[in-house]
Amino acid sequence: MVRVHVRPVLTEIISVTVMKNEIKIKLDTSTIFHFSELESLIQSSGLEYDLSAIQKAYLFAAEKHFGQTRMDGTPYVSHLLTVSKYLVELGMDTTSVIAGLLHDTVEDCGVLLDELELEFGIEIAYIVDGLTNVHNLEDRTKYDDLENFQKMILKSVDDIRIIIIKLCDKLHNLSNMSTYSEEKKIKSAENVKALWEPISEYLGLFLIKREYQDICFNILDKENYLKVQGEYDMYVEKHLTDAKNLQTDIVELLNEYKLEGFKVDFRVKSIGSFYDKVARKAGDKQVQNQFELVPDIFAYRILVHNVEMCYEVLSLISAKFKLKVEEYDDYIAKPKKSGYKSLHTVVLPKEDLQVEIQIKTYEMHDYNEYGPASHIAYKNGGKDYSWVRSLQDYTVIQKTETDSSSYKENVFKGKVFVFTPEYNVKVLSEGSVPIDFAYEVHTEVGDSYAGAKVNGKIVSADYTLKTGDIVEILTSKNRLAPSLDILKHARMSETKSRIRRARNRVNSLNHENL
């Protein structure tokens, strides 16, 4: 299934579904209003969906949200349909699509989780509950501690589908803010830019990240957006033909050496992604004469069937074209923290033109674009990739022997994320107790430790802290060091060292006073 998106010169891009081992580089973010539209997309997806179960969820959601409208006056159910549409585009499973339809029923309609479990099963109820919990965590966001907050949100869920549905929910809300006040638009874009865009990158969901970048740029810096758009469009129009002509040379080269099953795809970088990269590299928001800072404005993806072929293609490209040597990166040998894998090199077909060549396997590409969603898509379609499976177990409820290592264990092994009463996040070792938290806040807080409240209740000194706990340390002005009993409960080695130092100081003072 091929879709051509009609946009300015920058998006002369053909996108196709991931399910046929082809490339999709844009989500269709348009809103849908009728179940028949979702049904049509599902039927053409090539994936296995339980359409009757999805229709049941839609009818349930439509009844519960009856009479509710969006800010622009459209029926609220259009939001639920569109979020579910994004999930189908990402290749997510039936459970995800149903949860997308039901994700606001508990928070906005007063539906009880017991009712969801009775109607749709424990897995759906679990995911909807997880989405509600993530929303509550988001309300506590502190912009001075966002990296730890992102990690807390990711660790707080046992099923990665919760985060993917939340990302789609945020995308549709961000895409449909025409009737919102400027203040609300800016606040929402700042939230997405600071919190959800990094999470989408961390998970490798670049399809969503690119949409976030474009929309946030337009909202947060409208004046510069219009200026950059004009300059960028002129630059791309000037070089587009030469960049696209390179495809013939690449295909002829690979055919000459009889490589089988390869695919070559051309893309132009989105304006939001370009802007972010220039601002990051140049340290400012000026783009004049700085196009050379972004060598991947034009890029080719060469997809092959195995890693050996990736390096074979790289050697052929290196022998055929003039390269910008300093721009070579091997993300197969050393993947990015998101799991992204590819070989990158930059060729110089003309003096004033740079084109990036990305060489990867089909499996790598699907994961690079869809992150965790790629695994679910292939599992849904009867395929499976063991190298993706090793990254994470996508559901705590239907765990299999092959999905032996969980997402949270791999990404956040040995860490817990807890709140101060002001909702700042502290990162502790797994198994930590309140005294460990006290010293993480400040040495003086630890030295004067007299007890702790967790989630508003007094707890014992050996209480094991969990991700999401809100911890309040009780102190005593007359206390200069924790007791030996507290030392026995401490888990972190740094905590134990600080307690010993504090006790030594007290002992020294007592000795001097004798």
Of 25, 45, 47, 28, which is closest to residue 368 (Cα–Cα)?
A: 25
Measure the CA–CA gap between 126 and 107, rounded to whole angstroms. Answer: 14
Tokens 């209740």 belong to residue: 457
Residues in the chain: 514
Of 364, 363, 372, which is closest to residue 343 (Cα–Cα)?
A: 364
Give me the torsion for CA of 466, 472, 477, 480, rounded to 10°: 10
Catalytic residue among 48, 107, 308, 352: 107
**444: CB partners within 8 A, 6+ apart:** none
Catalytic residue among 108, 256, 292, 352: 108
SS (H, E, C) 437-457: HHHHHCHHHHHCEEEEEECCE
State yes or no: is 447 an active-site residue.
Answer: no
What would the two tokens of residue 190 be? 């700042």
CA 168 to chain CA centroid, Å, is 10
Measure the CA–CA gap between 63 and 42, rounded to whole angstroms. Answer: 22
What would the two tokens of residue 506 be? 């007290």
Using the 8-state DSSP alphabet, how is residue 336 labeled?
-
- Residue 37 · residue 81 · CB < 8 Å: yes
Measure the CA–CA gap between 202 and 245, rounded to whole angstroms. Answer: 34
State yes or no: is 108 an active-site residue.
Answer: yes
**Residues annotated as catalytic (active site), given as ranges:** 107-108
